[in-house]
């Protein structure tokens, strides 16, 4: 059963990791996928070709979601190419970790800009289209860190906590037009980035998780499919924790 048949989705930051997992599972469920990347053009082209094989329309766009004008232009291009936008997944994000005493202003500002302002930019850009359609699902990627905080990540935690407040407000503003806004808060997800950590550190993380494993991009992607599909038609303003029980 293809839960997203005929829907068109934008997924930001999808050339690798969680974003790639979301774009892939969306295509498998019948969604047409417009996805963005910042610099990994080779990986984006490979993914575009892979996903087109599912018999859906897929197109990669180089775009910086942290730039207001670029977000507006991206949405205009997607509308021209696809004709509709039913789902927006704000997944683009970066980290610049450091203790507060060592963190400089630039590292704080950059993380807020890429992680939080991009969500404003992209939501603002798709709002008009979704209002006209009188339907849409916006899914914003937060983090377990945005809920409980983490030493050495004041900038990242602030950006991810901000996403939760933003999403709840959007849910209140746009609910009457059948536009839903929800958050996914991933826990420890094993991707190319975590593969660079030493095995002892990874094992320590796994041991502290009730399900005794790290999550996969598919675990996040499946939650996104639920929130993007009509199965979640009466769910908005919520934060879904996909963390193996870390916050239990």
Q: Looking at the annotation, which residues are catalytic?
A: 156
3-state secondary structure of 163: helix
Handedness of CA 96, 218, 11, 247 (dihedral sign): negative
* φ/ψ bin of 90: left (φ > 0), alpha (ψ from -120 to 50), beta (otherwise): beta
Tokens (6 digits) for 43: 């990986």
Task: Give, rounded to a whole angstrom, the gap between the first and last alpha carbons of the chain.
Answer: 32
Cα–Cα distance between 4 and 226 in angstroms, integer? 9
Count Cβ atoms below 10 Å from residue 97 Cβ, excluding itself. Answer: 15
Cα–Cα distance between 39 and 18 in angstroms, integer? 16
Cα–Cα distance between 83 and 87 in angstroms, integer? 13
């Amino acid at each position: 059963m293809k839960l997203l048949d005929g829907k068109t989705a934008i997924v930001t930051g999808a050339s690798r990791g969680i974003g790639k997992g979301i774009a892939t599972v969306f295509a498998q469920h019948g969604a047409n996928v417009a996805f963005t990347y910042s610099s990994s053009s080779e990986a984006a082209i490979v993914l575009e070709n892979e996903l087109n094989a599912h018999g859906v329309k897929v197109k990669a766009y180089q775009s910086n979601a942290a730039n207001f004008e670029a977000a507006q232009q991206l949405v205009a291009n997607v509308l021209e190419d696809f004709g509709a936008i039913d789902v927006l997944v704000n997944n683009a994000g970066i980290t610049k970790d450091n203790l507060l005493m060592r963190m400089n202003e630039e590292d704080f500002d950059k993380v807020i800009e890429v992680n939080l302002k991009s969500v404003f930019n992209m939501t603002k850009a798709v709002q008009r289209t979704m209002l006209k359609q009188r339907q849409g699902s916006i899914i914003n990627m937060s983090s377990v860190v945005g809920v409980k905080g983490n030493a050495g990540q004041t900038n990242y935690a602030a950006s991810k906590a901000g996403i939760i407040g933003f999403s709840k407000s959007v849910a209140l503003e746009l609910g009457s037009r059948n536009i839903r806004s929800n958050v996914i808060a991933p826990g420890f997800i094993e991707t190319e980035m975590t593969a660079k950590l030493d095995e002892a550190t990874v094992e320590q993380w796994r041991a502290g998780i009730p399900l005794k494993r790290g999550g996969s991009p598919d675990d996040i992607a499946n939650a996104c499919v639920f929130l993007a599909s009509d199965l979640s038609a009466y769910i908005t303003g919520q934060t879904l924790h996909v963390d193996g029980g870390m916050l239990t």
